[in-house]
Structure 1
Amino acid sequence: MTPPPLNHKVRSVFSGAVLLCLSICSTQAGPIRVVTEELPPYNMTRDGQLTGMSTEVVQAVLKEVNVQASIQSMPWARAYDLALHDPDVLIYSITRTPAREHLFKWVGTIAASRWYIYSAASHPITLLDLNDARDWQTATVNEDVGEQYLIGKQFVIGQHLQSSNRYELNYQKLQTGHVDLWISDELNAAWLAHQAGEEPARTLVQSLRIPELEESGGFNMAFSTGTADATVELFREGLNTIRENGTYDAIARKWN
């Protein structure tokens, strides 16, 4: 016989018990190190404080699961390397791709994203498909998903790609003609244009959309594979909880 469904009160008690148990297990597993990069408006440093939409979501999850952890901002390649090789490392905002699937333990999506290859409005370039971009120099960020995606499509750093550690530097390079194209998340591109005192609709052209980078649903939180499964599940439950209780929506409205 199929048991009757749990009512809301019983489900809440059960969920709370699971979170408590997972929290104890997580505490026993050791301290968590949280790493990210400067990717405005998702994660960025303002007046010495780390903020941004993704950062506020991560902070809300940490509070929900009662885990104390500081967040460090660093170049993406360094953060990525730490999350690849060290235990108990949480990294965000990271795009989930087939190539990365088994490299991390995935918590869940924390922000939507849309990816484009941009050209400058002063030198617009029409791209019918990705192969057309091989005729131009494209700005990328070292080890970020845009660069990894293009390398996976046989683009070569130094031949087709100019790699750097800073997103704002790539926007500057595009506007000054040091590169012809730039691969970036849409909100990041718009934010950097506004920070430069410019209107993105007047300075940037969306030459080609990259839907393959959007299939995972956007930017994620993920743990290193050396992290205990109980810790990962704790954070998944915490993320689900802040989505259900309205905290996530309140953060998203603030930044969109």
Structure 2
Amino acid sequence: MTPPTLNHKARSVLSGAVLLCLSICSSYAGPIRVVTEELPPYNMTRDGQLTGMSTEVVQAVLKQVNVQASIQSMPWARAYDLALHDPDVLIYSITRTPEREHLFKWVGTIASSRWYIYSAASHPVSLLDLNDARDWQTATVNEDVGEQYLIGKQFVIGKQLQSSNRYELNYQKLQTGHVDLWISDELNADYLAREAGDEPERTLVQSLRVRELEEAGGFNMAFSAGTADATVQLFQDGLNAIRENGTYDAIARKWN
């Protein structure tokens, strides 16, 4: 006996169910690990809770895509190493440079940034270009984009660069004369000055703007290279969704 054939309506229902299943499966995100650093006001721990503009954006994306994941704050060099070598690691706030382009799978920009080489107002240093900075000691953070940028320009740790694991230490070193210069994002520098009880316009001098770092497009979310493309696409869609529904703008207004 010839088996009965499906009518047009039944075929349509079955086809829709298959497409729905494929859509759900293709957008599935397995367990992921989210890592960041203490980079106020973008990501920072306050009263035992991780907060900041970038953190709130990441949390909004996680909610949008219905993925449960805790966020761990740690020294940047450790977070960066985990994202370089382990699968299913989401890292933020990370600058997208040409050197890093092939190392990660990029989700998108979550905050703008402006970078400067600072000197202390009590000991201002005039810089016409980056080469002028070679005669001075500059504070950096281990493996962050400012340090990587200067190393790429042939600055040497231990000779022209003093590397540390905490941004606030660099502000302190600049103000106490242990270094002459400090490379930092502007909002981070201003925040740390105010946290120290200072007014940034009175204690910091923007000796040189580092436009090459700004051309990278700000701070980003990115996945480790070993993460499935479907997971990356899911988070890209989530970031686009919170931009379109107004959530991103509401977070940005809160922190700017």
Distance in 2 (alpha carbons) for counterparts of 1:98 and 1:26 = 28
Distance in 1 (alpha carbons) for counterparts of 2:26 and 2:146 = 36
The C-alpha deviation readout for 1:125-183, integer Å capped at 9, x for no partner, is 00000000000000000000000000000000000000000000000000000000000
Assess, with a 3 A threshold, how the Cα gap between structure 1 residues 23 and 118 changes in structure 2: closer, same or farther. farther
Q: Under a length normalisation based on structure 2, what TM-score does the superposition of the two structures give? A: 0.91
Note the C-alpha offset of 1:30. Answer: 2.5
The C-alpha deviation readout for 1:89-147, integer Å capped at 9, x for no partner, is 00000000000000000000000000000000000000000000000000000000000
Structure label with greater radius of gyration: 2
Please say if 1:157 is aligned against 2:157.
yes
Please say if 1:80 is aligned against 2:60.
no
Distance in 2 (alpha carbons) for counterparts of 1:107 and 1:128 = 36
Please say if 1:42 is aligned against 2:42.
yes
1:128 is matched by which residue type in structure 2? Answer: L
Q: Is the 8 A contact 2:35 2:92 kept in 1?
A: yes
Please say if 1:111 is aligned against 2:108.
no
Distance in 2 (alpha carbons) for counterparts of 1:255 and 1:194 = 15
Assess, with a 3 A threshold, how the Cα gap between structure 1 residues 125 and 223 changes in structure 2: closer, same or farther. same
- The match for 2:98 is 98
The 3-state SS of whatever aligns with 1:102 is helix
Please say if 1:31 is aligned against 2:60.
no
2:171 is matched by which residue type in structure 1? Answer: Y
Distance in 1 (alpha carbons) for counterparts of 2:21 and 2:199 = 48
Distance in 2 (alpha carbons) for counterparts of 1:114 and 1:184 = 8
Q: Is the 8 A contact 1:19 1:234 kept in 2?
A: no
Where do 5+ consecutive residues of structure 2 fail to align?
A: 1-18
- The match for 2:167 is 167
Q: Is the 8 A contact 2:27 2:233 kept in 1?
A: no
Give RMSD over aligned pairs. 1.5
- The match for 1:52 is 52
1:1-256 equivalences in 2 (<5 Å): 24-25=25-26, 27=28, 30-256=30-256
The 3-state SS of whatever aligns with 2:128 is coil
Distance in 1 (alpha carbons) for counterparts of 2:232 and 2:92 = 14
Q: Is the 8 A contact 1:53 1:255 kept in 2?
A: yes
Assess, with a 3 A threshold, how the Cα gap between structure 1 residues 176 and 21 changes in structure 2: closer, same or farther. farther
Distance in 1 (alpha carbons) for counterparts of 2:34 and 2:24 = 17
Assess, with a 3 A threshold, how the Cα gap between structure 1 residues 21 and 35 changes in structure 2: closer, same or farther. farther
Note the C-alpha offset of 1:188. Answer: 0.0
Where do 5+ consecutive residues of structure 1 fail to align?
A: 1-17
Distance in 2 (alpha carbons) for counterparts of 1:20 and 1:250 = 34
Distance in 2 (alpha carbons) for counterparts of 1:210 and 1:95 = 13
The 3-state SS of whatever aligns with 2:105 is strand
Assess, with a 3 A threshold, how the Cα gap between structure 1 residues 226 and 201 changes in structure 2: closer, same or farther. same
The 3-state SS of whatever aligns with 1:140 is strand
Note the C-alpha offset of 1:217. Answer: 1.6
Assess, with a 3 A threshold, how the Cα gap between structure 1 residues 63 and 139 changes in structure 2: closer, same or farther. same
Number of paired residues? Answer: 238
